[in-house]
Amino acid sequence: MANFRALTSQSGTVTQIQDANTTIVGAGVTTAAGDLSISAAGGNATVQPGTVLDTTGAGNINLPNNGAAKFQVEAVSVGATVTAPNLDTLTNASNADALHVHATGVTGVTFTATSGEAIDAGEILAMDDVAGSPRVFKADANGASEIQNPVGVAVNTVAGAGLSVTVRVAGQQNIPDAQFDVVPGTADVGKRLYLSETAGNWTLTAPLTSGSFVIRTGIVSVGGAGAVKVVWQPGEGIVLA
């Protein structure tokens, strides 16, 4: 004798259906070999207030996440990287560095300024006034008096004037090779760096030109092409006679 179970609709209607291989025509709810599925014609399944979607025994709720089917949070589908292995890595004290983008080697204190010109990340910056507004420019050891006084290092690149620049004033930062007169090698770790006579640049050799400004800007903390890091550490400057 077949087993029957009762289904109660929101309207209160009770329908008895046979357990296996039974279809409620038009409702989009089907059972087959014990499974329950909701077809597109059936619309959404709604859990009513005060009701919990639960499992019994060793039952599991499967949340799909692939190109054709994704689970949602507040009606927004999750990204392809929201997977069981990745969630495990994030929550079981594993090293999750591979799941994030880190600003490697960039630590310390920053402030936000407005650019006075195009600036590249890693360039040494100074401040000057433009029509009553402070702006940051590439510092220059043989430039005008204001831009001989470096205040920090550009964290981001901007294409021109009037744009937001993050300026590092303490700590360590990766510096691209293009921002050095000569790229410091591994043997240069611990050596002083100075403001260059090439605007924005760092140099291991202090300027020697009469009228130029000699000022320490930092210490090499990691050397080698493509890997140089500098600890921002400005010193007192002097103008060469």
Q: Which domains does the chain have, with CATH numbers?
A: 1-43 (no CATH), 109-239 (2.40.300)
Q: What band does 61 get if pLDDT is binned at 50, 70 and 90?
A: confident
Phi, psi of 97 (to 5 degrees): -55, -35
Residue 140: is its pLDDT beyond 70?
yes
Percent of the chain with pLDDT over 90: 50
Q: What band does 147 get if pLDDT is binned at 50, 70 and 90?
A: very high
Which residues pair with residue 173 across a beta bridge? 230
**pLDDT (mean) for 105-126:** 89
Which has the higher per-residue pLDDT, 164 or 52? 164
Check residue 99 and give its pLDDT.
76
Residue 109's identity, in one-letter code, is V
Closest CA to 198 of 153, 149, 142, 135: 142
Q: Which residues of 133-153 are buried (b: 16+ CB within 10 A; e: fewer)?
A: eebbbbbbbbbeeebbbbbbb
Q: Is 195 helix (H, G, I), strand (E, B) or coil?
A: strand
**pLDDT (mean) for 205-233:** 94
What is the model's pTM? Answer: 0.58
Percent of the chain with pLDDT over 70: 78
Which has the higher per-residue pLDDT, 104 or 162? 162
Residue 69: is its pLDDT beyond 80?
yes
Check residue 76 and give its pLDDT.
87
| Rounded Cα gap, residues 183 and 63, in angstroms | 51
Q: Mean pLDDT lowest for which of 82-96, 115-129, 145-159, 160-174?
A: 82-96
**pLDDT (mean) for 234-238:** 88
Q: What band does 1 get if pLDDT is binned at 50, 70 and 90?
A: very low
**pLDDT (mean) for 87-108:** 72
Name every residue whose Cβ is closer than 8 Å to that of residue 146 and which is 6 or more positions away in sequence.
126, 127, 128, 129
Using CA atoms, how far residue 136 sits from 85, 139, 147, 231, 237, in Å, is 46, 9, 9, 20, 19
Q: In the 3-class helix/strand/coil scheme, how is 152-174 assigned residue by residue?
A: EEECCCECCCCCEEEEEEEEEEE
Residue 19: is its pLDDT beyond 70?
no
Return mean pLDDT, the chain. 84
Q: What is the CA radius of gyration of the chain?
A: 32
Check residue 46 and give its pLDDT.
79
Check residue 234 and give its pLDDT.
92
Which has the higher per-residue pLDDT, 43 or 133? 133
